[in-house]
């Protein structure tokens, strides 16, 4: 007798192209699940519940998500997220009201953002001899520069004008857990190397603590090569010596910026996948494309669904289905390799065309 595992997933398309790419990802995942029924290893299915939260919801209700939203999400197996942000709502309100609220309350402290080349996609970095380049940005996702510490209208001290303070929080526990995560990940890769990124020459408290913890943790992983690189130098290295990278671990803001750079170097922000993980599995993890809501192309069928579908592959890995994740990744490569590309990567295909091609490739 075969069994079917059902994964309960909360879909939050949120804003702009989020709706289009989440619909694409859902269609591809449902096709994969339909094909798994009758599998001797046991099939799987997805039970989706969609939540209407985001900037449109904010305009109607004054809230980015319901007050009991976290409570309603907490028992799902995972959250599948689109993108947040729309010009009618201040960006800090939309980001803190939804994406950061979920990440921080569900202690999704590890944000994994792989960067790799895809066949058929032109990259500013691709040369004939380095088609296999790939690296992973591991982003500390719970504290650092996005700890939300600070304030405005602090004492103006008589000079006139407003004063604002924005502090970064670095805890030894927070630094150590993200570094161990990065080292453990490096051990699963061909190149066992972790590059730590800071600006510790200029930021002499939190980032020096980061450096100290990195040295201590590295001593437990003598089989893993290490380097510490300042963020400005690392930006140059991404462009000039990407073959020297494997796992790059960085604070919340630095990794946010570097991972956008990485995905642009791979060809487009639209290709980049990410997983916001609560590695202890006390809370659901959240899977989302790296890109934002792209108001300039929203609703036109132009969005690239590959980042969202790649994020779905990361979700399958999280569910303990690595073969299915690899199957999805192969379908992505078959699709881009066949030249079925959206406009951001030089093609003319629509979101729907790419989605259909992905499903065809799964069934091929
Ligand atoms: N799907 C990712 C997304 O919506 N990003 C919007 C954004 O501004 N994110 C900031 C961050 O990643 O912290």
The residue whose CB lies within 8 Å of the most ligand 1 atoms, and thus the one to mutate among 258, 292, 315, is 292
Distance 290 CA to ligand 1 centre (A): 7
The residue whose CB lies within 8 Å of the most ligand 1 atoms, and thus the one to mutate among 79, 99, 295, is 99
Of all atoms in ligand 1, which is nearest to the CA of residue 252?
13
- Per-residue confidence (pLDDT) for residue 41, from 0 to 100: 61
- Cα gap 239→338, rounded to integer Å: 27
Distance 292 CA to ligand 1 centre (A): 6
Question: Which residues, in sequence order, are bridge partners of residue 150?
Answer: 166
Ligand 1: lining residues by beta carbon, under 6 Å: 83-85, 95, 99, 256, 288-292
Distance 262 CA to ligand 1 centre (A): 15
* Residues 6+ away with beta carbon under 8 Å from 27: 355, 359
Closest residue by CA, ligand 1 atom 6: 292
Of all atoms in ligand 1, which is nearest to the CA of residue 256?
12
**Going by DSSP bridges, is the β-strand pair 110-116/273-277 parallel, antiparallel, or unpaired?**
antiparallel
- Per-residue confidence (pLDDT) for residue 161, from 0 to 100: 76
The residue whose CB lies within 8 Å of the most ligand 1 atoms, and thus the one to mutate among 54, 84, 101, 144, is 84
For 208, other C-beta atoms within 10 Å of its C-beta total 14
Query: Could you write out the three-class secondary structure of the chain?
Result: CCCEEEEEEEEEEECCCHHHHHHHHHHHHHHHHHHHCCCCCCEEEEEEEECCCCHHHHHHHCCCCCCCHHHHHCCCCEEEEEECCCCCCCHHHHHHHHHHHHHHHCCCCEEEEEEECCCCCCCCCCCCCCCCCEEEEEEECCCEEEEEEEEECCCCCCCCCCCEEEEEECCHHHHHHHHHHHHHHHCCCCCCEEEEEECCCCCCCHHHHHHHHHHHHHCCCCCCEEEEEEHHHHHHHHHHCHHHCCEEEECHHHHHHHHHHHHHHHCCHHHCEEEEECCCCCCCEEEEECCCCCCCCCCCCCCCCHHHHHHHHHHHHHCCCHHHHHHHHHHHHHHHHCCCCCHHHCCCCCHHHHHHHHHHHHHC
Of all atoms in ligand 1, which is nearest to the CA of residue 82?
1
| Nearest CA-CA partner of 14 in 97, 63, 84 | 84
Of all atoms in ligand 1, which is nearest to the CA of residue 293?
4
- Per-residue confidence (pLDDT) for residue 1, from 0 to 100: 55
- Cα gap 22→63, rounded to integer Å: 21
10-residue mean pLDDT profile of the chain (364 residues): values are 86 98 98 81 90 98 98 98 98 97 97 94 73 88 96 70 90 98 98 97 97 98 98 96 95 97 95 98 98 97 98 97 96 97 97 98 92
Distance 140 CA to ligand 1 centre (A): 14
- Cα gap 111→271, rounded to integer Å: 16
Show the CA angle centred on residue 166, arms to residues 263 and 183, nearest 5°: 45
What are 87-117's pLDDT values in tens digits?
999 999 999 999 999 999 999 999 999 999 9
Tokens coding 268: 């487009």
Total residue length of the chain = 364
- Per-residue confidence (pLDDT) for residue 154, from 0 to 100: 64
Spatial contact of 59 and 89, defined as CB atoms under 8 Å apart: yes
- Cα gap 162→252, rounded to integer Å: 26
**Domains in the chain with CATH codes:** 1-116+268-364 (3.40.718.10), 123-266 (3.40.718.10)
What sign for the dihedral angle of Cα 49, 81, 24, 51? positive
Distance 234 CA to ligand 1 centre (A): 21
What are 299-349's pLDDT values in tens digits?
999 999 999 999 999 999 999 999 999 999 999 999 999 999 999 999 999
- Cα gap 325→70, rounded to integer Å: 27
ipTM of the complex as predicted? 0.92
């Amino acid at each position: 007798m075969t069994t079917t595992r059902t994964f309960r997933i909360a879909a939050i398309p949120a804003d702009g192209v989020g709706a289009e790419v989440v619909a694409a990802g859902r269609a591809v995942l449902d096709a994969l699940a339909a094909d798994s029924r009758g599998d001797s290893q046991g099939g799987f299915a997805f039970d989706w519940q969609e939540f209407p939260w985001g900037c449109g919801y904010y305009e109607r209700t004054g809230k980015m998500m319901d007050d009991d939203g976290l409570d309603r999400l907490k028992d799902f197996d995972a959250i599948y997220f689109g993108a947040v942000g729309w010009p009618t709502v201040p960006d800090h309100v939309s980001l803190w009201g939804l994406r950061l609220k979920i990440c921080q309350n569900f202690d999704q402290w590890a944000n994994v953002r792989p960067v790799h080349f895809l066949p058929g996609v032109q990259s500013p970095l691709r040369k004939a001899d380095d088609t296999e380049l790939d690296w992973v940005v591991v982003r500390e996702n719970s504290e650092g520069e996005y700890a939300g510490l600070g304030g405005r209208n602090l004492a103006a001290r008589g000079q006139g004008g407003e004063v604002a303070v924005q502090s970064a929080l670095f805890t030894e526990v927070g630094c150590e857990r993200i570094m161990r995560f990065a080292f453990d990940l490096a051990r699963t890769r061909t190149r066992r190397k972790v590059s730590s990124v800071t600006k510790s020459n200029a930021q002499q408290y939190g980032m020096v603590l980061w450096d100290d913890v990195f040295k201590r943790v590295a001593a437990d992983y003598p089989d893993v090569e290490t380097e510490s690189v300042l963020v400005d130098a690392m930006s140059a290295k991404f462009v000039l010596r990407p073959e020297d990278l494997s796992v790059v671990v960085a604070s919340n803001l630095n990794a946010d910026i570097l991972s956008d750079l990485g995905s642009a170097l791979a060809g487009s922000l639209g290709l980049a996948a990410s997983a916001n993980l609560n590695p202890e599995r006390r809370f659901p993890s959240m899977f989302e494309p790296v890109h934002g809501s792209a108001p300039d192309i929203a609703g036109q069928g132009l969005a690239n669904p590959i980042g969202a579908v790649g994020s779905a592959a990361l979700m399958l890995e999280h569910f303990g289905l690595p073969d299915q994740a690899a199957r999805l990744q192969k379908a992505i490569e078959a699709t881009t390799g066949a030249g079925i590309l959206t406009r951001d990567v030089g093609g003319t295909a629509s979101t729907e065309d790419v989605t259909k091609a992905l499903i065809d490739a799964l069934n091929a």
